[in-house]
Structure 1
């Protein structure tokens, strides 16, 4: 029983080692029988415990989302592209406002910050291209599809956030070594407020949509916008400090912001590293085991693996069934397991169920290939 969709029963005496297994593969978005209404998840019954929990939630983007149940891959990609378009326009509008203030204030520092915001807006471009690429169907060369393009874009965004931290540290140290008086403080403060509000709105929007579709890369891009907002807010705090007579306030705030950016870089990079290394949240494995165990006819569940490919999941598992069951009955159990898993894991797009018979005949070599693994 080694074909993905067996068309005939396979009797033990047809093969030298009857421990050939039946593989069940499933393209979630290609099957209409999964149009049953998926479970609506109310954050799985848990609520965030306040401000600091929300901060941790923001700086540690996780892809176990609660809204992806209603999204197929095509819709998720479409929403991701839509989010990038809207947020890109928002960032450009913010930068244009800052250009206007630069023109009437003559602030070189604000000009540099404005150019920085323009360059940051362009980080949406590689992620946009990744979402477009992910819509392409898988083929014989890229058999898992193009979902990894999203993860690669996320890694690029992490590098951009790190570059922002380097720029902040450099500018702050330069101001400490070569202090310069701030001019047009009022206009600079106004530009800082506009920069903060614009970037924060974009950040909230990207993070929310990224979590809805399970895209760690889009969440990372939202965090990048939030970093820029913190930078603008830090400029405002520094302006207030200088206005109160503390000339070192501006570079000191810059160093603090740089340190905060590095914390965000660390947590975001760690998440992207897990994705690139096929890491998965342990609770996902537990969910797979739990759902499969509760299917009638399943005697054991083992060798469970899962990974993220972009904002979708792929899983493989082995189940043990009664060795006396005919092929069709074993196949139907595998189908029930797949059906249960798609309802349990909204982000799941592919799953392979490998069926093992229980060891009820001592003359059968059930693990003939085990030494190759």
Structure 2
């Protein structure tokens, strides 16, 4: 049994007053508004972070041109790749705002996961190119010029990436977007690799020009670690993995609902940056259909209130009894 619930976006006082007067008024229009607002926030984050990272990378590219630093080149390439990840994410957020259809009955939220695959490929490409350039410079060493400018560019890269990382992670966690959080963590690691450019510049200044390509290889290795973490995050989403703590929270919530004798299976999945749930509950077999439905409605209501970013739940109520009865006997051969 399923009923649609959601939360509107007004002032805190208005939300509290509306809930007090009509505690069950959670309609699909409210939920659609919430999802659209989340996507709009994601698009704003992507637009701003894209501009910051492009400006950062362009400044670094100019310095690469006259300094010849391969460490800075690797960092610049990575920053350009990080900026470009905003494009597939922006497309996914925009696509995910489309309404569900008879073919795509759950909507288009999973487009974010597809964007995550593109992000992983971009990170892999930047790692490969940076590593190639670093190895080439090790085999054919070249002097690095304008070391002060190279060091300054590394510092600029750190500041730009850290600002973007904090913004993406904050909003990504607030709206429940794994792809946006992963992209923010990616930007944070980019910031620390930018600081590594300072080490390369310092080594060159002390008479060790080989420090520059070595740092370039270290940056490549750091990118590979980011690649591993991002790939794992996207893999979990594609495989419908959720935090086990959410499942435990859902079970505890169901057990506390009046009329629920036992909580059965709980299945949660992310679709874009919202959660969907399918749960089974056991109710007294003496209840009427209307009474059992009321228990299921209250179960969904409580789940939406207690699970962050849960947009909808399908609650299946099974009669608990009479003793020895198997209400799913006809389905055993199909399971």
With structure 1 as the length reference, what TM-score do the two structures score? 0.78
Cα 1:228–1:217 change in 2 (3 A) is same
> Which residue matches 2:106?
144
> Which residue matches 1:291?
253
> Which residue matches 2:291?
329
**Deviation at 1:90?**
0.9
Out of 56, 75, 82, which is 2:37 matched to?
A: 75
Out of 147, 158, 165, which is 1:203 matched to?
A: 165
> Which residue matches 1:261?
223
Residue by residue, what CA displacement relative to the aligned partner does 1:117-138 show, whole Å, maximum 9, x if unpaired? Answer: 3443222111001111111111
Q: Which runs of 5+ in 1 are unaligned?
A: 1-22, 38-68
> Which residue matches 2:85?
123
Q: How many residues align?
A: 316
Q: Is the contact made by 2:162 and 2:188 (CA closer than 8 Å) also made in structure 1?
A: yes
Within 5 A, what are the aligned runs for 1:62-101? 72-99=34-61, 101=63
Question: Partners in 1 of 2:80 and 2:219 — Cα distance?
Answer: 20
Question: Larger helix proportion, structure 1 or 2?
Answer: 2
> Which residue matches 2:97?
135
Out of 256, 265, 268, which is 1:306 matched to?
A: 268
Q: Is the contact made by 1:359 and 1:366 (CA closer than 8 Å) also made in structure 2?
A: no
Residue by residue, what CA displacement relative to the aligned partner does 1:171-226 show, whole Å, maximum 9, x if unpaired? Answer: 22222211111112122222222122112211221122111111111112223323
With structure 2 as the length reference, what TM-score do the two structures score? 0.86
Cα 1:316–1:72 change in 2 (3 A) is same
> Which residue matches 1:344?
306
Cα 1:117–1:268 change in 2 (3 A) is closer
Within 5 A, what are the aligned runs for 1:222-233? 222-233=184-195
Out of 8, 18, 28, which is 2:6 matched to?
A: 28
Q: Is the contact made by 2:68 and 2:143 (CA closer than 8 Å) also made in structure 1?
A: no
**Deviation at 1:274?**
1.0
* Residues 183-192 or 346-355, more deviating: 183-192
Question: Partners in 2 of 1:296 and 1:314 — Cα distance?
Answer: 22
> Which residue matches 1:360?
322
**Deviation at 1:92?**
2.2
**Deviation at 1:346?**
1.9
Question: Partners in 1 of 2:231 and 2:330 — Cα distance?
Answer: 41
Q: Is the contact made by 1:138 and 1:146 (CA closer than 8 Å) also made in structure 2?
A: yes
Question: Partners in 1 of 2:152 and 2:278 — Cα distance?
Answer: 55
Q: Is the contact made by 2:264 and 2:281 (CA closer than 8 Å) also made in structure 1?
A: yes
Cα 1:210–1:262 change in 2 (3 A) is same
Question: Partners in 2 of 1:266 and 1:25 — Cα distance?
Answer: 40
> Which residue matches 1:239?
201
Question: Partners in 1 of 2:83 and 2:216 — Cα distance?
Answer: 21
- Please state whether the residue corresponding to 2:121 is helix, strand or coil: helix
Question: Partners in 2 of 1:367 and 1:313 — Cα distance?
Answer: 31
Residue by residue, what CA displacement relative to the aligned partner does 1:345-373 show, whole Å, maximum 9, x if unpaired? Answer: 12101100001001216577543213212
- Please state whether the residue corresponding to 1:369 is helix, strand or coil: helix
Say which structure, 1 or 2, has more relative contact order (CA 8 Å, 6+ apart): 1
Out of 281, 294, 306, which is 1:319 matched to?
A: 281
> Which residue matches 2:127?
165
Q: Which runs of 5+ in 2 are unaligned?
A: 18-30
